[in-house]
């Protein structure tokens, strides 16, 4: 009898797939650190560019080093003109996250050193990818509406420039800081699904663009980065605070998942949700419209009362992005604008100490089935259902 390895826990819960020095989650205490620094501290005091430096170089930069990275990111924002043509030719109805996935894949075609996985070449790719994500999204947003392309500005940081290109006007300073904080909070998060798919691809020594394309495709799913779009769809459906309790009850009675709640690792309040809740409230007050954050808070209370589930990062990011004026279908791509920094950092880490990631599956199917030639089959030979794994 062939022995099988012990069956893995569904969804690889609790499995450790490698070492990292980038970020760590303490799910029981609701804590998150980037390279040892507490996320609350970083959200309140740092900037997205500084987080990129921290993740890619493992240091808090001097002013000079930070300025150097900011300048490099600013210089790399423009897209190859063939990529702009591609974006122009895509269906205007395409989902922006699918456009982003396609554009990242296409970006690799314009890099002469696409297959160079050395640290220096990979750092250049990390800078290019992080610099161009906002441009790709803003360009598609404008082109798909028949509007002119807005060229990136070099005098603005990532968040402010993204708002400028997307909405075609000088960004409000407070709005830019709100987006900057959201970018800080989403930049890395341990071995999440999209990061895992990036490193699985990189571990075959495939190129950085392929790894990040895999990651974007994985982020898209509603159980991962796609949840923030689900949150706002739910809020738009509910509309009034009085409808929240009954709506939640209805969903839970049908055993449906409510987007923005629950987490595979956190069994306490997600620290990113704490920060996003605060900025969602501030942003709502400044915009003179707290409807969405109020509705979100009501939903948080109702879900806690009925199911004792904590909010995750996607719950309050939804009202933050909505208040900033982003269309719903851009919420998940905005997550990617930040997480690309973390994905690239993990790919750099993977290349530096690479081993092909090749787990096994626990075969639970039949064995010893005799082959019946096609001429002898009067109907499909239906094989026995999968049997329970041998213990």
Residues of this chain that bind ligand COA (CB under 6 A)? 11, 223, 227, 257-264, 307, 309, 312-314
CA–CA gap between residue 300 and residue 147 (Å, rounded): 38
19 Cβ neighbours under 8 A, 6+ residues apart: none
Q: Single out the catalytic residue among 263, 270, 282, 346.
A: 263
CB of 178 to ligand COA, least distance (A): 20
219, 97 contact by CB (below 8 A): yes
Q: Can 263 be counted among the known catalytic residues?
A: yes
Compute the least distance from the CB of residue 196 to ligand COA, in Å.
Answer: 14
Nearest to 227 by CA among 198, 260, 205: 260
**Phi and psi angles of residue 159, each rounded to the nearest 5 degrees, phi first:** -65, -50
Residue 324 contacts residue 183 (beta carbons within 8 Å): no
Q: For ligand COA, which is the closer residue by CB, 143 or 259?
A: 259
Residue 353 structure tokens:
């100490």
Q: How far is the CB of 187 from ligand COA (least distance, A)?
A: 14
Minimum CB distance to ligand COA, residue 114 (Å): 31
Length in residues, the chain: 391
The minimum distance between CB 320 and ligand COA, in angstroms, equals: 15
CA distance 320 to 71: 27
Catalytic residue among 65, 98, 116, 224: 224
For ligand COA, give the closer residue by CB, 30 or 260. Answer: 260
Distance, in Å, from the CA atom of 228 to the CA atom of 213, rounded to the nearest integer, reads 20
CA distance 30 to 5: 33
Q: How far apart are CA 391 and CA 384, in angstroms?
A: 19
Nearer to ligand COA, 140 or 266 (CB): 266
What percentage of the chain's residues is helix, strand, coil (to nearest 5)? 60, 5, 40
8 A C-beta contact, residue 322 and residue 328: yes
Between 233 and 257, CB nearer to ligand COA: 257
- Tell me the β-bridge partners of 34: 23, 37
Could you tell me the end-to-end alpha-carbon distance of the chain, in angstroms, rounded to an integer? 12
Catalytic pick among 180, 186, 314, 346: 314
Q: What angle do CA 26, 202, 73 make, to 5 degrees?
A: 80
Please indicate whether residue 314 is annotated as part of the active site. yes
Task: Using the minimum distance from each CB to ligand COA, give the nearer residue, 219 or 340.
Answer: 219
Active-site residue flag, 113:
no
Q: How far is the CB of 37 from ligand COA (least distance, A)?
A: 21
Whichever of 162 and 261 has its CB closer to ligand COA, that residue is 261
State in angstroms the smallest separation of the CB of 190 from ligand COA: 12
d(CA 47, CA 62): 13
Kindly tell me which of 123 and 264 has the beta carbon lying closer to ligand COA: 264
The answer to whether residues 319 and 280 touch, using CB atoms and an 8 Å cutoff, is yes
Q: Which residues are catalytic?
A: 224, 263, 314
């Amino acid at each position: 009898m062939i022995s099988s390895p012990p069956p893995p826990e569904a969804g690889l819960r609790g499995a450790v797939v490698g070492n990292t020095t980038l970020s760590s989650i303490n799910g029981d205490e609701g804590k998150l650190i980037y390279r040892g620094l507490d996320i609350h501290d970083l959200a309140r005091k740092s900037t997205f560019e500084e987080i990129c430096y921290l993740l890619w170089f493992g240091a808090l930069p001097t002013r000079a080093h930070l300025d150097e990275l900011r300048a490099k990111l600013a210089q790399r924002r423009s897209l190859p003109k063939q990529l702009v043509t591609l974006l122009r030719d895509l269906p205007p109805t395409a989902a922006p996250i699918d456009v982003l996935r396609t554009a990242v894949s296409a970006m690799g075609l314009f890099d002469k050193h696409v297959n160079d996985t050395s640290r220096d070449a990979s750092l250049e790719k990390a800078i290019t990818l992080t610099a161009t994500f906002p441009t790709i999204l803003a360009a598609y947003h404008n082109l798909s509406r028949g509007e002119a392309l807005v060229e990136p500005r070099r005098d603005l940081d990532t968040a402010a420039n993204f708002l400028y290109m997307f909405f075609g006007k000088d960004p409000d300073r407070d709005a830019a800081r709100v987006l900057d904080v959201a970018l800080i909070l989403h930049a890395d998060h341990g071995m999440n699904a999209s990061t895992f798919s990036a490193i699985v691809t990189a571990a075959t020594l495939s190129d950085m663009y392929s790894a990040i394309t895999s990651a974007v495709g994985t982020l898209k799913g509603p159980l991962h980065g796609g949840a923030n779009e689900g949150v706002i769809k739910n809020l738009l459906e509910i509309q009034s605070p009085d409808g929240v309790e009954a709506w939640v009850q209805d969903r839970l009675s049908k055993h449906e998942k409510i987007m923005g709640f629950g987490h595979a690792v956190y069994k306490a309040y997600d620290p990113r949700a704490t920060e996003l809740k605060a900025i969602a409230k501030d942003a709502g007050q400044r915009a003179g419209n707290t409807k969405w954050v109020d509705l979100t808070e009501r939903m948080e209370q109702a879900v806690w009362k009925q199911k004792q589930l904590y909010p995750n990062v996607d719950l309050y990011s939804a009202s933050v992005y909505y208040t900033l004026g982003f269309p719903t279908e851009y919420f998940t791509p905005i997550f990617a604008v930040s997480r690309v920094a973390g994905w690239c950092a993990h790919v750099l880490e993977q290349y530096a100490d690479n081993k092909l990631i090749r787990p096994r599956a626990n075969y639970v199917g039949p064995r010893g089935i005799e082959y019946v030639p096609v001429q002898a089959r009067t109907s499909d030979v239906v094989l026995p259902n999968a049997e329970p794994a041998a213990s």
